[in-house]
Amino acid sequence: MPASNPRLPRAAVIREVGLRDGLQSIATILPTEHKCEWIRAAHAAGQREIEVGSFVPARLLPQLADTAELVNFAKTLPGLFVSVLVPNLRGAESAIASGADLMIVPLSASRAHSLANLRKTPDEVVAEVARVRAARDAAGARTLIEGGVGTAFGCTLQGEVDPGEVLRLMQALLDAGADRVSLADTVGYADPAMVRELFEQALEIAGERFWCGHFHDTRGLGLANVYAALELGVNRFDACLAGIGGCPHAPGASGNVATEDLAYMLGSMGIATGVDIGQLLSLRARVADWLHGETLHGTLWQAGLPKTFTPEALAA
């Protein structure tokens, strides 16, 4: 059935980021073959955008050392749009060489978090994006550049983050050559009213170049924040299977919105995702077995789908 609220989009994309944002935040190092199985199963369940890893030094994040192999595998799956995170020009060069469809350059609006996470000020990251754009264009590559503005609603290191600074940095990323921009509530400080206010202004700046909302469920408001963004027309969201995720350099940051919970909420409202929730829950069970001993999140896997739920609502 179509979405009953005319302000809501008819369809939405869930970008799976568990293989990067999720796995970087836990101690378990998942074997490459399990990651490939995860990608294959997520694709079979209908997911068409997956962030498979990050081009960072293996000594810093050994959990993501096989990113190039994962891009290579993911690109064999039909219709799969493959994303990677890159913290700098060197990582971007690796992403371009790998053939990834999109590279996300993270920028923290919090100066304290930016220095802790990337050892650069926010404006130095903007300058790095300009270098990334120049390298991409010189290579003749088609890899899109997404500037992701994190700690957009506050920071556990710095505290308050000025919304005006968030918007200034978003505009600066576009001016530096980013093809897309997104906003992230890295530490789970946002509420729906805050999301509505900031996203509305961000959309005025970026228009169709606004790409994605990224929310953490640290304080139980992840899905509510997604809904607030949906009402503004945002139709792409990051999520992690089993709600894993966080940031090693943001104390107190915990799990992302759970992919399965988000897929259920969207489907229940009649917003098409193309995702088969039954297959997604089966994959979650396998991932939970692989990550035995790690803290997982989400609620749908415990409660199950309601008897009144109609899977047809999920058809793409």
- Residues marked as catalytic: 247
Short-list 231, 239, 193, CA closest to 214: 239
Measured between alpha carbons, how far is 195 from 232 in angstroms, rounded to an integer? Answer: 10
The DSSP secondary-structure symbol of 239 reads E
Q: What share of the chain is helix, strand, coil (3-state, %, to 5)?
A: 45, 15, 40
Q: Are 83 and 103 in contact (CB under 8 A)?
A: yes
Residue 212, beta-bridge partner list: 182
Q: Are 150 and 108 in contact (CB under 8 A)?
A: yes
Longest C-alpha distance within the chain, in Å?
55
Which residues are within 8 A (CB) of 235 and not within 5 positions of it... i.e. 6 or more apart? 9, 11, 12, 13
Q: Are 294 and 244 in contact (CB under 8 A)?
A: yes
Measured between alpha carbons, how far is 170 from 275 in angstroms, rounded to an integer? Answer: 31
CA angle 156/255/9 to nearest 5° reads 105
Measured between alpha carbons, how far is 249 from 120 in angstroms, rounded to an integer? Answer: 13
Residue 31: how many CB atoms within 10 A of its CB? 11
Q: Are 18 and 241 in contact (CB under 8 A)?
A: yes
CA 181 remoteness from chain centre: 12
* Residue 55 phi, psi (nearest 5): -90, 80
Measured between alpha carbons, how far is 163 from 258 in angstroms, rounded to an integer? Answer: 26
Chain position carrying tokens 């980013």: 178
